[in-house]
Amino acid sequence: MMNHTLLQYFEWYLPEDAGHWKRLIQESLTLAQIGYDRIWLPPAYKGQGGLNDVGYGVYDMYDLGEFDQKGTIPTKYGTKDEYLKAIQTAHENHLEIIADIVFNHRMGADGKETIKAKEISWADRDEAISDEEEVEVWTRFTFPGRKGKYSDFTWDWSCFTGTDYDARTKKTKLLEFYHKKWAENVSQENGNFDYIMGDDVDFSNPRVVEELYRWGIWYRDLTGIDGYRLDAVKSIDAGFFPGWLNAMRQESQDNLFAVGEYWSGNIEELKAYLVKVSYSMLLFDVPLHFHLYDASRSYDRYDMSKILDGTLTKEEPQSAVAFVDNHDTQPGQALQSWVEDWFKVHAYALILLRDCVCPCVFYGDHAGIPKNGKTKVPFLNEMVWIRKHLLEPDMIEDRFDDPHCVGWSVQGKHPVVVVMTNGWAGSKEFTLEESQCEMMVDITDSSRVVYLDKGLGKFLCQDGKCSIYINEEDYKWMKEDLEI
């Protein structure tokens, strides 16, 4: 079994220098040597904010930094040629590229239209709070800078279900367009969570769906990407994705990877969504993220023995992408729920050094976040390396038997033992039956060693720490490999 590890290769506050694709070109070899094999890149197409757009204010999905639109040719991350070169370089270093796909909305329209719409309650999206009236909305996308290259499809109000601004009255309000209805097969948050922002794409319009299929095939064939991170799937008709993903996979020799962002801490809601989309994608394990967040803020009041309960990682392991933090949870963002720094090693050990099918590491933890004053997580490279070279995820023995000291062993020729505490120091005993080693070293403090007696050892962990033990020879191998 291959131990996949995904790196989210961006955070919200990257420099607006059009230089990120160049950074990936420079770092690809190093990332592969550490042990990553999948790289999730930010949205690569032109956003309404031009150079300042992180990528989620989608304007033109055919403009990968090629056309003079929104005041710039490159995106925040670079030009089309640099993007393609970054993907090529990643592939040369055996790294798969996962593309961030934002379908739900469009922003930065080129022109306005006068139509009829009714105002909708933000708190209950099924409740109209006005009769239909004439409004002026920014819904015409003609992409004058691209001049029809790649696609002559233009967007107008009929391609959308609603928006949030009436230019006639210059007021922000939620508008549902004439003879339109929010999609029903979406999250029921606020009654109906179809609408998020901008011009809400109408997935019941056959012309729109046909164009999204056409764009997807163009994008896949042009870039050679290896999979998808699908944004805000809770707000898109669930019936769209199985067909679209099947079409993307039809001409691919491999089964293109796909993971959806369904932002909910409710495990039953996530499991129901997996059924709705016929298990055509994995989902980020948001419940686990919130468990890690709660544990990091509760210290010794948190029951560590239950930290995996009620998570996708435990209940639907083949459909879970476990993560600690991401660009939305980092400080200063709308979904801020940052896992406290003291608990980061604990959290990453839980997702990287167990049986998760494809855990995701956040760029802010890999490289730091200067704006937030965050430095890179200690021992993160070592954990990724151990996952790639030593871990045998089908040979795990758990000791989740104490509220404040838990651990597990990974058996095999290259054993791994993890013990963590959220209070006083503690220890766990394990017998490493297949191991021929005599001494295990804690990678977080190499002066802490355990001598085995016929495979049996007592593995210590200090107050509020996470200790990760590997055998002495593997420790030397790791140190040599990571002298990058």
- pLDDT tens-digit map of 194-204: 999 999 999 99
The CATH number of whichever domain residue 327 belongs to comes to 3.20.20.80
User: Under a CB-based contact definition with an 8 Å cutoff, are residues 471 and 414 in contact?
Assistant: yes
| Total tally of structural domains belonging to the chain | 3
Q: What percent of the chain has pLDDT over 90?
A: 95
Residue 407 lies in a domain: yes
User: Under a CB-based contact definition with an 8 Å cutoff, are residues 420 and 343 in contact?
Assistant: no
For residues 96 and 161, membership in a common domain is answered with no
For residues 84 and 170, membership in a common domain is answered with no
Alpha helices, H only, 254-360? 267-276, 286-298, 312-315, 344-352
For residues 427 and 300, membership in a common domain is answered with no
Average pLDDT, the chain: 96
- Residue ending a domain, among 344, 366, 389, is 389
Residue 56 lies in a domain: yes
User: Under a CB-based contact definition with an 8 Å cutoff, are residues 132 and 116 in contact?
Assistant: yes
For residues 60 and 123, membership in a common domain is answered with no
Is residue 11 part of the annotated active site? The answer reads no
The CATH number of whichever domain residue 475 belongs to comes to 2.60.40.1180
In this predicted structure, what is the pLDDT of residue 3? 87
Instruction: Give residue-wise pLDDT tens across range 420-479.
Output: 999 999 999 999 987 778 899 999 999 999 999 988 999 999 999 999 999 999 999 999
For residues 125 and 243, membership in a common domain is answered with no
pLDDT band per the 50, 70, 90 thresholds, residue 252: low
Q: Which helix (H) or strand (E) holds 161?
A: strand 160-166
For residues 316 and 240, membership in a common domain is answered with yes
Determine the Cα–Cα distance for residues 306 and 287; give it in Å rounded to an integer: 12
Angle (CA) 383-281-346 rounded to 5° is 25
35 φ, ψ (degrees, to nearest 5): 135, 5
Determine the Cα–Cα distance for residues 283 and 312; give it in Å rounded to an integer: 8
- Residue ending a domain, among 205, 227, 242, is 205
Claim: this prediction has a pTM higher than 0.85: yes
For residues 368 and 251, membership in a common domain is answered with yes
Residue 1 lies in a domain: no
For residues 182 and 215, membership in a common domain is answered with no
* Residue 111 CB coordination number (10 Å): 12
SS3 of residue 143 by DSSP? coil
pLDDT band per the 50, 70, 90 thresholds, residue 484: low
Instruction: Give residue-wise pLDDT tens across range 222-236.
Output: 999 999 999 999 999
Q: Is the pLDDT score of 23 beyond 90? A: yes
Residue 469 β-bridge partners = 417, 442
User: Under a CB-based contact definition with an 8 Å cutoff, are residues 139 and 163 in contact?
Assistant: yes
The residue from 11, 194, 211, 231 that is catalytic is: 231
* Residue 454 CB coordination number (10 Å): 8
Task: Give CA 336 to chain center in angstroms.
Answer: 15
The CATH number of whichever domain residue 198 belongs to comes to 2.40.30.140
For residues 174 and 151, membership in a common domain is answered with yes
Residue 94 lies in a domain: yes
Mean pLDDT, residues 107-130: 96
Is residue 231 part of the annotated active site? The answer reads yes
**Would you tell me the crossing angle of helices 472-481 and 380-389 to the nearest 10 degrees?**
110
In this predicted structure, what is the pLDDT of residue 483? 85
In this predicted structure, what is the pLDDT of residue 406? 98
- Residue 239: HSE in the Cβ half-sphere, 13 Å Cα cutoff: 7
In this predicted structure, what is the pLDDT of residue 433? 80
pLDDT band per the 50, 70, 90 thresholds, residue 253: low
Instruction: Give residue-wise pLDDT tens across range 365-383.
Output: 999 999 999 999 999 999 9
Residue 254 burial class via C-beta count within 10 angstroms: exposed 0-12, middle 13-18, buried 19 and up:
exposed
SS3 of residue 337 by DSSP? coil
For residues 93 and 149, membership in a common domain is answered with no
Residue 93 burial class via C-beta count within 10 angstroms: exposed 0-12, middle 13-18, buried 19 and up:
middle
Q: Is the pLDDT score of 480 beyond 70? A: yes
User: Under a CB-based contact definition with an 8 Å cutoff, are residues 260 and 230 in contact?
Assistant: yes
For residues 227 and 321, membership in a common domain is answered with yes
Q: Is the pLDDT score of 2 beyond 80? A: no
In this predicted structure, what is the pLDDT of residue 228? 98
Determine the Cα–Cα distance for residues 151 and 210; give it in Å rounded to an integer: 12
Q: Is the pLDDT score of 1 beyond 70? A: no
Residue 378 lies in a domain: yes
The residue from 261, 285, 325, 382 that is catalytic is: 261
For residues 232 and 312, membership in a common domain is answered with yes
* Residue 217 CB coordination number (10 Å): 14
Residue 191 lies in a domain: yes
Instruction: Give residue-wise pLDDT tens across range 60-79.
Output: 999 999 999 999 999 999 99
- Residue ending a domain, among 389, 416, 447, is 389
Which domain range does residue 428 map to? 396-481
